[in-house]
C-alpha cells in the first residue's frame, strides 16, 4: 500500500486543559506512522469558516450512535464544533491555539483515525482511544447531542486528504508559528519564553515517552506558543552547543589529571611529579573536552563533525527532536525545575531527566538556561520556520523523497 500524508489537529480545549502530552503519548506510542511535521496555529475566522465548509462536503465513515446518526448530521456536528471552538472567541476576540501533527506512512489516514483517535460515540468507556479518554459526546434524554468535545480532529477518509491538507497549508504561513501575543497576561506580568528540546533518543521507536515528558512540563502551568520538528545540521548543533565547549574543556581538567596520574603510575611504576601532571593536563584537557563536545554533536545530529566535510555541515541532520516554545511568568526557572539536573543520577525525583534520562549525554531533554539563551537558541533553530507547507506541496507534487 502506498504511503499517505495525514494530520491530527489537537483542539483548543484539549491544549487549554493540558491534555496535549496525553494525546501525543497515544499518537506516538500506538502507531507506526512517522511524525514529520508539527506547527501551532492560531486560526482566523476565515480559515475556520473554510474548514467548516469543507467538513460539510466530506464523507464521514464514523460509526456513531447519536440520534439521526447519518453522515449529514455528523458532518454538521463537527462543522459546528469547528465554527464555535476554533476561531477567535466572540466576546473577547482572544485567539485560540490548534496544534497540527503531520504523519507519514502506509494507510496513515485510516490507521490514525481507527486505531488511535477513535470514533465519535457516546457509548465507549474503555479508554482505548484518544476520544475514549479525552473526548465527550453527551446525549440528553431524547438522544440529542447536549455536549460535544472530540479532543482532536482528523482527516475523515482518504479521498478528503488532499483538500484538507492543502487548506491548512494555505494558511500555515500567516496564521501559525510562534504565537507571541495569543496568551493574555494580567497587567504587570512580563512573560518569559523558553525553548525545550525533546531529544533524539525519544524518537528511536514507537513510544509514549515524548507525550509523557510534555505532560511533566505541563505541571508548570506555562503555555505552549510554538512547536517544530527539528533535525539539526552539524553547523546548527555546533553553534547551539558552542558555549558548552569551553565549559567542557575546563570541567575536564580534574578528571584528566586523575586519569593521567593513574595511567602513569601503572605504566611507569613511580609517581610523576605534580608539575609533569599539570603540564600534561593543560595539553590534554582541551583535546578531551573537544572530543566530548563532538560526541554531543554526533548524538544530536547523527553525524560525526570530524568525518563530514565543511559543505556537509549545513545539511539537515539525521536525528529528530521536538522543539517546544513555552511562555509565561518565570518560564525559565519553572521549566528547568521540572527538567532536573544534567546528570540523571543527581536529578531530583519526578523530574524529566531522573525519570527518562540515561546519562549526562542521553538525558531526555534540553531547556534554555536563561531568557537570553532562549532567544539565541530559537534563532539558531529557526523555530518559527514553516515546514508544513513545503511538506504538503512536495507530497502532492510527487517529490516524496524530499518531504523534509
Q: Does residue 82 register a pLDDT over 90?
A: yes
| 110 part of the active site | no
pLDDT value of residue 399: 60
Q: Does residue 194 register a pLDDT over 60?
A: yes
* DSSP letter (8 states) at residue 132: H
Number of neighbouring beta carbons within 10 Å of residue 4:
20
> Which of 187, 194, 185 shows the shortest CA–CA distance to 225?
194
State which CATH number among 3.40.50.10860, 3.30.70.141, 3.30.310.10, 3.40.50.970 fits the domain covering 3-176+386-402.
Answer: 3.30.70.141
In tens, the pLDDT along 173-190 reads 999 999 998 999 999 999
CB 75 within 8 A of CB 160: no
To which H or E segment does residue 167 belong? helix 161-170
Give the model's confidence band at 402: pLDDT under 50 very low, under 70 low, under 90 confident, else very high.
Answer: low
Q: What is the DSSP string of 180-248?
A: TTSS---TT---EEEEEEE-GGGGSSS-SHHHHHHHHHGGG--EEEEEEEE---HHHHHHHTHHHHHHH
Give the chain's mean pLDDT: 90
Q: What are phi and psi of 69, to 5 degrees?
A: -75, 45
Measure the N-to-C terminal CA separation of the chain; round to a whole number of Å: 21
Given 119, 291, 313, 366, the catalytic residue: 366
Give the model's confidence band at 66: pLDDT under 50 very low, under 70 low, under 90 confident, else very high.
Answer: low
What is the average pLDDT across 18-35?
96
CB 325 within 8 A of CB 226: yes
Number of neighbouring beta carbons within 10 Å of residue 152:
26
Number of neighbouring beta carbons within 10 Å of residue 287:
12
- The structural domains of the chain, with segments of one domain joined by +, span 3-176+386-402, 236-313
pTM: 0.91
Q: Does residue 337 register a pLDDT over 90?
A: yes
Percent residues over pLDDT 90 in the chain:
73
Amino acid at each position: 500500500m502506498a504511503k499517505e500524508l495525514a494530520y491530527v489537529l489537537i483542539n483548543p480545549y484539549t491544549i487549554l486543559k493540558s491534555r496535549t502530552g496525553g494525546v501525543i503519548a497515544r499518537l506516538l506510542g500506538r502507531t507506526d506512522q512517522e511524525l514529520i511535521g508539527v506547527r501551532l496555529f492560531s486560526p482566523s475566522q476565515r480559515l475556520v469558516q473554510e474548514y467548516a465548509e469543507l467538513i460539510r462536503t466530506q464523507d464521514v465513515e464514523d460509526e456513531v450512535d447519536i440520534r439521526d446518526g447519518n453522515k449529514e448530521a455528523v458532518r454538521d456536528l463537527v462543522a459546528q464544533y469547528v465554527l464555535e471552538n476554533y476561531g477567535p472567541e466572540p466576546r473577547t476576540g482572544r485567539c485560540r491555539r490548534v496544534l497540527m501533527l503531520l504523519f507519514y506512512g502506509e494507510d496513515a489516514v485510516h490507521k490514525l483515525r481507527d486505531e488511535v483517535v477513535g470514533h465519535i460515540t457516546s457509548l465507549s468507556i474503555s479508554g482505548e482511544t484518544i476520544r475514549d479518554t479525552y473526548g465527550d459526546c453527551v446525549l440528553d434524554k431524547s438522544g440529542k447531542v447536549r455536549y460535544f468535545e472530540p479532543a482532536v480532529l482528523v482527516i475523515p477518509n482518504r479521498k478528503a486528504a488532499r483538500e484538507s491538507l492543502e487548506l491548512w497549508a494555505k494558511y500555515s504561513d500567516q496564521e501559525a508559528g510562534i504565537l507571541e501575543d495569543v496568551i493574555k497576561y494580567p497587567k504587570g506580568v512580563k512573560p518569559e519564553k523558553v525553548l525545550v528540546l525533546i531529544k533524539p533518543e525519544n524518537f528511536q521507536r514507537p513510544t509514549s515517552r515524548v507525550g509523557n515528558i510534555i505532560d511533566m512540563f505541563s505541571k508548570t502551568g506555562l503555555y505552549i506558543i510554538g512547536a517544530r520538528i527539528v533535525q539539526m545540521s552539524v553547523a546548527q548543533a555546533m553553534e547551539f552547543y558552542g558555549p558548552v565547549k569551553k565549559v567542557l574543556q575546563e570541567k575536564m581538567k580534574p578528571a584528566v589529571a586523575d586519569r593521567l596520574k593513574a595511567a602513569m603510575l601503572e605504566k611507569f611504576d613511580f609517581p610523576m611529579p605534580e608539575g609533569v601532571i599539570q603540564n600534561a593536563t593543560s595539553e590534554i584537557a582541551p583535546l578531551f573536552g573537544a572530543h566530548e563536545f563532538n560526541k554531543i554533536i554526533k548524538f544530536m545530529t547523527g553525524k560525526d563533525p570530524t568525518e563530514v566535510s565543511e559543505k556537509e555541515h549545513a545539511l539537515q541532520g539525521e536525528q529528530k527532536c521536538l522543539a517546544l516554545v513555552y511562555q509565561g511568568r518565570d518560564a525559565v526557572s519553572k521549566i528547568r525545575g521540572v527538567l532536573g539536573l544534567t546528570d540523571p543520577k543527581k536529578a531530583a525525583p519526578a523530574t524529566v531527566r531522573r525519570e527518562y534520562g540515561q546519562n549526562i549525554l542521553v538525558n531526555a531533554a534540553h531547556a534554555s538556561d536563561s531568557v537570553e539563551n532562549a532567544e539565541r537558541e530559537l534563532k539558531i533553530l529557526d523555530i518559527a520556520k514553516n515546514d508544513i507547507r513545503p511538506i504538503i506541496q512536495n507530497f502532492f507534487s510527487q517529490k516524496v523523497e524530499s518531504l523534509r
